[in-house]
């Protein structure tokens, strides 16, 4: 596959960086720090939508690579997509990553942004919890006093982990939606922490019923 495109990765990076040239970091830091969470969320979404326009060259590149291939057509498998070939990926991925990297590098350099993102995450968690607490049972509406996670074994084919010997080395295997993959032991360590929290939450809820 001989891919010809009007931009180099370096040229595309300069193009993406031009979007942020209009921002003065000191000024934008001050503006972000003074925004309420809803204001920041709306502003951040607007900036993301505007910056996405700078993804147009990458979308153009995808069209060039795919040619007559229609991604909406029902093919036998994804391997028929020219974009999934090793050569196409080697050419395409650096452009996609450049778009993302320029975006992250700019915002991560803003101290006010990092703090506001933490606040936004907490805001979303609080909203999600509020929605979870409001439930309906047998036609009656309740606001629960507490909600916890409960775990069902065998959910989505991911109920097992395995130890295998691979070329003389013991390796851990786990399943992700039925797809088995090698994982680090931190996977099981993380599961232990989940179990401990689930037990603690369950014991706390049971104590409320005494």
| E strands, the chain, in order | 134-137, 140-143, 161-166, 169-176, 179-183
Average pLDDT over every residue of 10-20:
96
Single pTM value for the model: 0.64
Residue 74: predicted pLDDT: 67
pLDDT for 3: 82
Q: Find tokens 């005494």 and name the residue.
A: 210
Query: What value does the mean pLDDT of the chain take?
Result: 89
Asked whether the beta carbons of 12 and 54 are under 8 A apart, the reply is no
Distance CA 120, CA 21 (A): 25
What is the structure's pLDDT at 115?
Answer: 92
Contacts 24+ apart (CB under 8 A), 104-111: 106/20, 106/23, 109/25, 110/25, 110/28, 110/29, 110/32, 111/29
Q: What is the mean pLDDT of residues 142-166?
A: 78
- Sorting pLDDT into bands at 50, 70 and 90, what band is 43? very high
Query: If pLDDT is split at 50, 70 and 90, which confidence band does 155 have?
Result: low
The predicted structure's pLDDT at residue 162: 86
Instruction: Determine the pLDDT at residue 28.
Output: 93
Return phi, psi of residue 138, to 5°: 50, 40
Task: Give CA 196 to chain center in angstroms.
Answer: 26
For residue 77, pLDDT over 80 is answered with no
pLDDT of residue 154: 64
User: Is residue 203's pLDDT more than 70?
Assistant: yes
Longest dimension (CA), the chain: 72
């Amino acid at each position: 596959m001989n891919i010809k495109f009007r931009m180099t990765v370096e040229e595309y990076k300069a193009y993406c960086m031009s979007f942020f040239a209009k921002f003065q970091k000191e000024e934008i830091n001050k503006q972000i720090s003074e925004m309420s969470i809803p204001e920041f969320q709306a502003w951040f979404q607007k900036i993301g939508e505007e910056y996405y326009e700078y993804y147009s060259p990458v979308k153009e590149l995808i069209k060039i690579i795919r040619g007559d291939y229609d991604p909406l057509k029902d093919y036998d498998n994804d391997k028929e997509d020219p974009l999934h070939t090793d050569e196409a990926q080697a050419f395409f991925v650096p452009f996609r990553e450049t778009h993302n990297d320029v975006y992250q590098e700019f915002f991560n350099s803003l101290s006010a942004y990092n703090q506001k993102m933490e606040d936004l995450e907490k805001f979303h968690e609080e909203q999600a919890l509020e929605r979870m607490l409001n439930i309906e049972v047998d036609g009656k509406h309740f606001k629960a006093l507490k909600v916890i996670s409960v775990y069902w074994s065998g959910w989505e084919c991911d109920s097992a982990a395995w130890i295998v010997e691979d070329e003389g080395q013991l390796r851990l295997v786990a399943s992700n939606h039925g797809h088995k993959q090698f994982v680090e032991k931190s996977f099981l360590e993380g599961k232990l922490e989940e179990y401990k929290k689930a037990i603690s939450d369950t014991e706390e809820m049971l104590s409320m019923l005494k």
